[in-house]
Amino acid sequence: TAGRLRVAYLLGESVDALTVEILDADGNVIQSYEGTPSEDAEDSEDEDDGGWWGASEPELAMEAGLHSFNWNLRYPGSTSFPGIVMWAASTEVGPIAPPGQYTVRLTADGETLEQDFEIGLDPRRPQVTAADL
C-alpha cells in the first residue's frame, strides 16, 4: 500500500468549526478537510489508506478529546466531465506527493496551529533518488 501520514490532534473542548490543510513547501494548500459533527464522526483508526483508487474522505471529529486521521499523501483528483475515458486511472485520486517539506495546518474556531513534516524517499528503494522523481 501507499504511504500515509497519521495526523493526531487534541481538542480541549468541542469546536464549531475545524479545518485541517496540507501545504507544500511554497505554502500552497494541496489538500483540505473539514470537521464532521460528533454524531457523524468516528475515529479513523482503521481508515482506508488509499490503495489504488484512493482513500475515503477522512472524518474529522470536533468534540473534546484526542483524535486522528490518515492523509494518504495524495493530491486531489482531477476534474471529471461527461464522456471522459480513463482506462487505467481515476479522477477521484490525484498523484502521490513527492518527497519534500510540507506543513499540516489545523484551524479550530479561528485558532490556527501549524506543524512542519517531511516526506522522505522510500528506504526500500535505495537506487531511487529525488532527481528520479
* Statement: residue 40 has pLDDT above 90: no
* Statement: residue 9 has pLDDT above 60: yes
Segments in the chain forming alpha helices (H): none
CA distance 74 to 2: 9
The proportion of the chain whose per-residue pLDDT surpasses 70, expressed as a percent, equals 81
The answer to whether the predicted template modeling score (pTM) of the entire model surpasses 0.75 is: yes
User: What domains are defined for the chain?
Assistant: 5-120 (2.60.40.4070)
**Top-ranked range on mean pLDDT: pick from 26-30, 72-76, 91-95:** 26-30
CA distance 127 to 133: 12
The answer to whether 31 touches 22, Cβ cutoff 8 Å, is: yes
C-alpha cell at 62: 470536533
pLDDT in tens, 20-32: 999 999 999 999 9
Q: What is the pLDDT of residue 55?
A: 53
Provide the pLDDT confidence category of residue 42 given band limits of 50, 70 and 90. low
Provide the pLDDT confidence category of residue 35 given band limits of 50, 70 and 90. very high
CA distance 9 to 87: 39
CA distance 3 to 121: 11
The answer to whether 71 touches 31, Cβ cutoff 8 Å, is: yes
pLDDT in tens, 44-63: 445 444 444 455 678 899 99
